[in-house]
Copies of this chain bind each other. A is one copy, B any other.
Amino acid sequence: MPLELHISLANLHNNLRFFRQITKNSAELSAVVKSNAYGLGITKIVPEMERFGVRSFFTATISEAVKVRSCSRKSEIFTLNGFDFLNAKTYKKFKITPVINNILEAQKFIDAFDQTHEVAIQLNTGMNRLGLNKQALFENLDLIKKLPMNLILSHLACADDISSDENINQRNLFNELCQVLPKVRQSFSASHGALLGTEFHFDMIRPGVGLYGGIKNSGLKGVIQIKVPVLQSFIINENMQVGYNFTYKATQKMTVATLAMGYADGLPRILSNNGKLFYGNIPCPIIGRVSMDLVTVDISNLPEIPQHLCVFSPEYEVEDFAKDCKTISHEVLVNFGERINRVFSG
């Protein structure tokens, strides 16, 4: 069998339903599908979300937006990384809505478009990454008001920390800045922000990682599983060594399996002698260095030589895997490589 990433569309639907329910029907549910829908595959995920009723999608870049348009004729598509004005015609041709992040982009948009092509604007409420800050907004209010905007958005820096005062501070500033702008839809929260409560929802929430099983929460379900084929198994004796630079030495006789997944597939090298794969609920420790295309694990505890092992288990989800990789779910999801076959199930 090939290396496979299995995606449960039923659990994706569960997660969409969860986010719709927590809005209490007072906010639109949009979806972030940048980085190829967090590695799951835009062309399958976007139509599935549309069937569920999602009407607005967020990408990072214009080329991703064009890909979304290729599988979604009617939806609104926003490019979070701004207005790539050298590609102005592409926005027009594919009916893509740029997110204006600064004054230069605003001016270029006005120069390039008539008033029929709408835009979103992003406000910088403290994260200092993208968007118009208070000063830039107030100094250029006449220009900004010329934009045919249909959405105002901002982004929380500390949404995953429910105790952070910064969330309140950013929200207060967002409210203050929206006062001087046209009364159009307002969007403030991605997945973690949406979980902070309805007072963070405004008119539209835009979850990403939570939809794809990257957040542990009683209402959200895991969406992906990776099945890793066993290529070979063998016995090694005490003192035999395994993998690059012989970083593992057996302390006793053991059974080792070599599997067809490596760091090129998103099993990071930091899991060398540290991570594990699963046979059901039974963990099989990674021994030695993770290679580019291969990983070796200790399967001495298993009742049989398996055909494949799994990356996740019911008790070991994307967020747990991310912790072992010393990162967050988002980086884990987008790193699962092109070589892995995506397999969708209902």
Residue from the list B1, B161, B244, B288 in contact with A86, Cβ < 8 A: B1
A12 within 8 Å of B (CB atoms):
no
Does A232 lie within 8 Å of B82, measured CB to CB? yes
Nearest neighbor of A260 in chain B, beta-carbon distance: B81
How far, in angstroms, from A69 to B29 measured CA to CA in the complex? 45
Residue from the list B130, B288, B293, B326 in contact with A81, Cβ < 8 A: B293
A102 within 8 Å of B (CB atoms):
yes
Knowing A129-B291, A234-B128 are in contact, say whether A243-B157 is a contact too (CB < 8 A).
yes
Nearest neighbor of A334 in chain B, beta-carbon distance: B264
Stretch at the interface among A56-64, A140-148, A193-201, A217-225: A56-64
How far, in angstroms, from A262 to B34 measured CA to CA in the complex? 12
**Most central of A84, A244, A270 by chain B CB within 10 Å:** A244
Does B331 lie within 8 Å of A157, measured CB to CB? no
How far, in angstroms, from A64 to B231 measured CA to CA in the complex? 17
This chain: copies in complex: 2
Nearest neighbor of A161 in chain B, beta-carbon distance: B245
Does B242 lie within 8 Å of A133, measured CB to CB? no
Residue from the list B82, B129, B288, B326 in contact with A243, Cβ < 8 A: B129
Does A270 lie within 8 Å of B326, measured CB to CB? yes
Does B294 lie within 8 Å of A130, measured CB to CB? yes
| Size bin of chain A's contact surface | 35 or more
How far, in angstroms, from A233 to B36 measured CA to CA in the complex? 27
Interface residues of A in 241-274 (CB under 8 A from B): 241-246, 256, 258, 260, 262-264, 268-270
* Shortest distance from the beta carbon of A261 to any chain B beta carbon, whole Å: 10
Does B294 lie within 8 Å of A35, measured CB to CB? no
* Shortest distance from the beta carbon of A213 to any chain B beta carbon, whole Å: 16
Knowing A242-B127, A328-B269 are in contact, say whether A82-B231 is a contact too (CB < 8 A).
yes
Does B334 lie within 8 Å of A232, measured CB to CB? no
A50 within 8 Å of B (CB atoms):
no
Using Cβ atoms and an 8 Å threshold, which residues of chain B touch A130? 231-232, 258, 294
A236 within 8 Å of B (CB atoms):
yes
Bits for A315-344, please: 1 = Cβ < 8 Å to B, else 0: 000000000001110110011011100000
Residue from the list B2, B35, B268, B288 in contact with A264, Cβ < 8 A: B35
* Shortest distance from the beta carbon of A215 to any chain B beta carbon, whole Å: 15
A126 within 8 Å of B (CB atoms):
yes
Using Cβ atoms and an 8 Å threshold, which residues of chain B touch A34? 264, 292-293
Does A101 lie within 8 Å of B63, measured CB to CB? no
Interface residues of A in 127-169 (CB under 8 A from B): 127-130, 133, 136, 157-158, 160-161, 166
Nearest neighbor of A101 in chain B, beta-carbon distance: B232
How far, in angstroms, from A291 to B334 measured CA to CA in the complex? 12
A80 within 8 Å of B (CB atoms):
yes
How far, in angstroms, from A158 to B244 measured CA to CA in the complex? 6
Does B63 lie within 8 Å of A133, measured CB to CB? no
Using Cβ atoms and an 8 Å threshold, which residues of chain B touch A157? 241, 243-246
Knowing A35-B293, A243-B127, A294-B129 are in contact, say whether A339-B234 is a contact too (CB < 8 A).
no
User: A residues within 8 Å of B by Cβ?
Assistant: 1-2, 34-36, 60-61, 63-64, 80-82, 84, 86, 101-102, 124, 126-130, 133, 136, 157-158, 160-161, 166, 231-232, 234, 236, 240-246, 256, 258, 260, 262-264, 268-270, 288, 291-294, 296, 326-328, 330-331, 334-335, 337-339
